[in-house]
Structure 1
Amino acid sequence: MVRKIKVTPGIGTISLLIQHSELFIHDVYINKPQLILVQNGSLSVTNQEQHFTLQAGEMLVINNGQTLSVTHHLPENGPFSCAIMAWDHQLLGDTALYATGFSPPLIAVDTLQVIPHIPAAFKQSFTDTHSAILWHHGLPAPITRHRMLEQLLWLSQLGVRYSLQHSESVTQRVRELLVDNLHKSFTAAEVAEQLMMNEVMLRRRLAAEDCVLRNLMIDVRMTQALRLLQCTDLAISNIAHQVGYESGSRFAERFRKRFGFAPTAIRGHMRPLSAQTMTYNN
């Protein structure tokens, strides 16, 4: 299997996540609504209120704007793998999508929901769409959009839709700014200017949300690095550069401090499962 990510701006992201070690990964921020199909192994997901363990062949709806802790459990032979589909907010906000009635009535998912009794036709549609977008070069954007909307319609047929009622915190706004500018080392004043507030107000608003700007900057970079390690076969030095680190050793130090294991652990350097919560500064 080959890790891969395919991004279609304004529509969404398709990725194949492969992990060779069983690792507890704590406090991962979800920035887009996702649908996950576990392919090999099993997946444990926890937020503040819920805990699910999915087996191979099961699907999980995850809404954005929340922080999750996950463990990817390996099968007897080979690595863990799952197919991920994530929708951009522009596409999810298409009101025409839910213009017609559905039976059963739609339930808005705010956090997590396992899809029970998945129809074979839905699973096949998801698998075909995921494969076509990820591996077929030159698939036109309108076709990609249509096929990803089809998966939302399938969820609707099962009575499920994503809630769009999340309040946008200052922390979320800063995250969105940083993830689009991973190479840029923002000062607090520059971040405040982008958010159209002064620096003192920015720091106060973040403090009220129990957040420190510098830690948030590091977290955004390390979370993106984790995603690239799991869903691409890019060299670790390349990933370090993509998230704003010229020094590979400095990147590895930051990554280990954030997650509790080295970047190499994702791709096969076995380490013990650790549930220790890590904190970091600087």
Structure 2
Amino acid sequence: MLNDVFRIPARALIRQGGRARFFRLVNTSPLLIQVQSGIKIVMADDNALHLEAGAYALLPDYRPLTMENIPKAPQKYQTLALPVPRQLFEEAYTAMGSIAVPSRPLPASASNLPEEAAALFDYCCQPGNLTRLPGAIARVRLMELITWFALCGAVLGQSQSPRLEDRVRQMIEGDTAYDWTLGHAARAFNMSEATLRRKLAAEKTGFSEILSDTRMNRALALIQTTTLPMAQVALEVGYDSPSQFSARFKERFGVNPRHVRSGSEHFERIGAEVEHSGTDALP
């Protein structure tokens, strides 16, 4: 489908003023990233990927990750992230023929990315460049970029079937400010409330937990990628009270939202681990 390209979220420029570690974040689309300043550490299970400024990497979809972003004074931490549909990775690997696709999706660095590939990454990240192209051409550009990353060691692991939890998160992501209820979700998935509750419990989660966590992860993305006032960020994720929002954010991530943006707190707190995974997790 040629229109897949135009459903790609715009590239995100992530800035962070204070050091923080965010536990169990899940991206709903694979991300090609470049760390532009500071240091990024990405952990999955017992594997840690250490990325210095200038490094390129691939972050998988539907895989809980721990991400630690470390600014290096006088600059803020900054990363450029490009979401790409999984389908294009699979098509690119099929066209390559001999590529070995890992059975498990793990973060992977693209070592020694050639200048031509780096220039293509920059081109794809420039606002409007891909959407101005015919769909077929935009797909080819992205598949070329995926191929360069693969040749440099960053290959996306095999697809993992989205859990019901992930599908509920995707629904909530469409409008995090909406007053979602269990009933809304049950009707969307053609289930009774009791069935939805039982199926989510089998995945060791619940609707209220997913709703809260999805909203907090959306808030994190807004704080890192926009200059919206905190009161507006709170409204965007369904909180009328900025103080209530701030308290919930700190409960989830272990740091005040203003610390993430400006690093203005006098202490350095390395985030809070939670039992369940987040979503909408830009690096």
TM range (shorter): 0.7 to 0.9
Paired residues of 1:133 and 1:144 also in contact (CA < 8 A): no
Could you say which residue in structure 2 is the equivalent of 1:175?
A: 169
2:121 corresponds to: 126
Which residue number corresponds to residue 186 of structure 1? Answer: 180
Q: Of 85, 93, 115, which residue of structure 1 is paired with 2:110?
A: 115
Root-mean-square deviation (CA), in Å?
2.6
* Counterparts in 2 of 1:179 and 1:171: CA distance versus 1, 3 Å: same
Q: For 1:87, which of 84, 88, 91 is the aligned residue?
A: 84
The unaligned stretches of length 5 or more in structure 1 are 1-7
Which residue matches 2:96?
Answer: 101
CA distance in 2, matches of 1:277, 1:101: 39
Give TM-score, length-normalised by structure 1: 0.84
Structure 1 distance, partners of 2:97, 2:149, is 10
CA distance, structure 2, for counterparts of residue 178 and residue 88 of structure 1: 19
Q: Is structure 2 residue 220 aligned with structure 1 residue 223? A: no
Is the CA contact 1:62–1:113 (under 8 Å) kept in the aligned structure 2? yes
What pairs with 1:237-248 in structure 2 (closer than 5 Å)?
Answer: 237-248=231-242
| Cα gap change, 1:138 to 1:194, in 2 (>3 Å) | closer
Letter in 2 for 1:129: C
The TM-score, its normalising length taken from structure 2, stands at 0.84
Moved over 6 A (4+): none
Residue 26 of structure 2 aligns to a residue in which SS?
strand
**What letter is aligned with 2:244?**
R
Is contact 1:30-1:63 (8 Å) kept?
Answer: yes
- Aligned residue for 1:5? none
What count of residue pairs does the alignment treat as equivalent? 268
Query: Structure 1 residues 137, 36: closer, same or farther in 2, change over 3 A?
Result: closer
Distance 1:249 1:141, change over 3 A: farther
Q: What SS class does the counterpart of residue 80 from structure 2 fall into?
A: strand
Structure 2 gap segments, 5+ residues each: 277-283
Letter of the 2:165 counterpart: T
Using the TM superposition, give the Cα deviation of residue 255 of structure 1 relative to its aligned residue in structure 2, in angstroms.
Answer: 1.0
Quick one: distance in 1 between partners of 2:117 and 2:20? Answer: 30
Q: Please name the residue that 1:149 is paired with.
A: 143
Match of 1:250 among 230, 235, 244: 244
Note the C-alpha offset of 1:17: 0.7
Q: Offset at 1:181?
A: 2.4
| Distance (whole Å) between structure 2 residues aligned to residue 188 and residue 260 of structure 1 | 27
Q: Contact 1:102 / 1:157 at 8 angstroms: preserved in 2?
A: no
Q: Deviations over 1:181-235 (max 9, x none)?
A: 2122222122111112211121111111111211110000000010010011122
Q: Does 1 or 2 have the higher relative contact order (CA < 8 Å, sep 6+)?
A: 2
